[in-house]
Structure 1
């Protein structure tokens, strides 16, 4: 968490915990990385006194037939909460594009009803999305962020966007980096069972150009990789069949498996069997896959985008490659496939870094302080905005 916000929050006296309702597109199962994070939060909260509820604001995918009704239902739920549990904190998860349009409506209702609410920004380049808006839209978006009781961001880049472009008071911004549950002994047990097998390279995320999947397939088919023994799993949703055809055209069908989207348990089971996690993205906020990688003690290969430099120290807790550079990606993967000692060193350092900075315990402690701070603030009356 940002030091100013943390010091301010830590001085606020403890009060009985308010319940929290999360608003996100697709819920936990169909909400991508945001849904997975909220699912982890909800599970971890079972060990606390604070109740966490989840409301889907869109459905599995945007649909003009059903999504507006989902949003309307979320508005009705918020209004009912204001009567039944007026102190409830409304934790609203937001990204760019259509997500911002929906959250402009939801936060407008929150201000009108006087609901305590937090905006939690998850986006790979919100500054760029904001710059493309009309003047009227920019005014509304600034008002939305400035009107929240607190705003959570994933890293310092988004902190600068909020203070510079959106005019949010730095004292009302908290940097809370993504987290995942600790896989603990499972990774040791599974990895010991497969020491004699070829290294397993995995990718987790939506199969897309933004995630660098075309470059990844080209790197895996590179001559330096064709000479080595390895296997790869490229897991995620998106145009899976198109990428399977690309892999087949590159003669990768026997080496690369594309199972489609994996649930949280399936993804963590895959991580526990892997050696290298690769995410050659063009843009990210803070990828959940990278945090999963360091939690499982994998050798992480990724790009210097978003808040990744706040997670990965190059050559120590992971390896950076240039964006869009298939040759550099191939050379890095080949070196890690060949060099077990380097993989083990990166694994040890990554795992230690996770335990010190990105565990659920650390994350929930920061989140609880934030909720206590919001609960302690005077609540606005209905109609005041």
Structure 2
């Protein structure tokens, strides 16, 4: 199969990380898991049009040299949709078997903001795919009710991450009893991810006398949030290192205790899954597909979107009660192993690709009059 993703595995955000995990988990089949970048890095806008043209040329070449290849188009809102409308139209014109995989924090709103002619093109894109993959039930409804995709063509596939403890590099030794609890945030810095609420919660009086530190890691307006943290009196406790690569993110997770992601909107946050996999106590919000995989007070702590007071109380309780934190982390880790492993994900994805491939072959045979 060939994955089409803006930014590839290095600059493709959560989608790119997911594809990178698939490739790492199946190195023996790397020749069957190809990745084509349709945009380049976010800051290299001049490269985007040539990369899109190159992706189109790759699809044409595959149609000639590898006609059975499944083309897996990863789509979100905004510019991603425009690129996939072009690639999806080319795939239909060439007769390529193709899957559309929706990753977005609120695709319905993005769709409804567009003019009618764009909506028609987007509906044609989704209806023309051999399979539409979504992250959860909310997006299933969007695909079915708003975009008109037949129910039989939609599959729900929750995101997944590899098990950090299988590599033998995880830090599993318990921390010293007097060590401060470390809170970690991983994601794009900004209001959608709840960074303002997180900083205000960390400066809340409920947190003042407790023993903790925090790392707020991610790209975006780092200097702005460093200044905000300083203004809130958090400079001695909160570090904002900026963007971290995969190895640095893993090392940070292995040395942390609590993952905080108070997002306003998500599809299914990769940071939450990575927190579960690393055995961190997760504090997050009921957005996207989170409620489909997590249960409040059992495998996570849910807090209302935008509620600084509730977020501060949840964090303070977990910092002050290590045994509660450990129980929540253990249950979250069990949920990850039971339902969210990368091996199970790859098996489901392979089954979907085989299914659409068989469907394409049956359709081609029917057209030739052999069925």
Deviations 1:231-275 (A, max 9, x none): 101010111111111111111111011111112222122111111
Task: For residue 149 of structure 2, give the secondary structure of its aligned residue in structure 1.
Answer: coil
TM-superposed deviation, 1:218: 0.5
- Alignment of 1:321 with 2:303, yes or no, is yes
- Alignment of 1:346 with 2:328, yes or no, is yes
TM-superposed deviation, 1:378: 2.4
The 4+ residue runs of structure 1 with deviation greater than 3 A are 47-50, 185-191, 193-196
Task: For residue 46 of structure 2, give the secondary structure of its aligned residue in structure 1.
Answer: coil
Q: Distance in 2 between matches of 1:314 and 1:100?
A: 34
Q: Where does 1:13-32 land on structure 2 (aligned, <5 Å)?
A: 20-32=1-13
Equivalence for 2:89: 108
With 257-266 and 198-207 compared, the bigger mean Cα shift is at: 257-266
> TM-score of the superposition, structure 2-length normalised?
0.94
> TM-score of the superposition, structure 1-length normalised?
0.91
Q: Distance in 1 between matches of 2:176 and 2:288?
A: 34
Q: Where does 1:179-194 land on structure 2 (aligned, <5 Å)?
A: 179-184=160-165, 189-194=171-176
Q: Where does 1:123-134 land on structure 2 (aligned, <5 Å)?
A: 123-134=104-115
Specify which of 27, 33, 39 is matched with residue 58 of structure 1: 39
> Of the two structures, which has the highest relative contact order with CA contacts closer than 8 Å and spacing of 6 or more?
1
- Alignment of 1:268 with 2:263, yes or no, is no
Report if aligned partners of 1:91, 1:119 keep a CA contact under 8 Å in 2. Answer: yes
Report if aligned partners of 2:164, 2:170 keep a CA contact under 8 Å in 1. Answer: no
Equivalence for 1:140: 121
Task: For residue 360 of structure 2, give the secondary structure of its aligned residue in structure 1.
Answer: coil
TM-superposed deviation, 1:108: 0.7
Q: Distance in 1 between matches of 2:360 and 2:202?
A: 56
Q: Distance in 2 between matches of 1:189 and 1:367?
A: 31
Task: For residue 236 of structure 2, give the secondary structure of its aligned residue in structure 1.
Answer: coil
Equivalence for 1:67: 48
- Relative to 1, partners in 2 of residues 1:119 and 1:232: Cα closer, same or farther, differing over 3 Å? same
Q: Distance in 1 between matches of 2:195 and 2:233?
A: 16
Report if aligned partners of 1:187, 1:296 keep a CA contact under 8 Å in 2. Answer: no
Report if aligned partners of 2:185, 2:215 keep a CA contact under 8 Å in 1. Answer: yes
Q: Distance in 2 between matches of 1:150 and 1:191?
A: 44
Q: Distance in 1 between matches of 2:279 and 2:48?
A: 39
Equivalence for 1:210: 192
Task: For residue 30 of structure 1, give the secondary structure of its aligned residue in structure 2.
Answer: coil
* Matched length: 363
- Relative to 1, partners in 2 of residues 1:244 and 1:95: Cα closer, same or farther, differing over 3 Å? same
- Alignment of 1:357 with 2:357, yes or no, is no
Specify which of 70, 81, 98 is matched with residue 117 of structure 1: 98
TM-superposed deviation, 1:196: 4.0
Unmatched 5+ stretches in structure 2: none
With 357-366 and 186-195 compared, the bigger mean Cα shift is at: 186-195
Specify which of 140, 145, 164 is matched with residue 159 of structure 1: 140
Report if aligned partners of 1:178, 1:286 keep a CA contact under 8 Å in 2. Answer: yes
- Relative to 1, partners in 2 of residues 1:348 and 1:80: Cα closer, same or farther, differing over 3 Å? same
Q: Distance in 1 between matches of 2:125 and 2:147?
A: 9
Q: Distance in 1 between matches of 2:272 and 2:30?
A: 30
Q: Distance in 1 between matches of 2:175 and 2:211?
A: 18
Report if aligned partners of 1:277, 1:299 keep a CA contact under 8 Å in 2. Answer: yes
Equivalence for 2:220: 238
Report if aligned partners of 2:97, 2:360 keep a CA contact under 8 Å in 1. Answer: no
With 49-58 and 353-362 compared, the bigger mean Cα shift is at: 49-58
Q: Distance in 2 between matches of 1:163 and 1:218?
A: 39
Specify which of 272, 279, 285 is matched with residue 290 of structure 1: 272
TM-superposed deviation, 1:195: 5.0
Q: Distance in 1 between matches of 2:246 and 2:113?
A: 34
Unmatched 5+ stretches in structure 1: 1-19
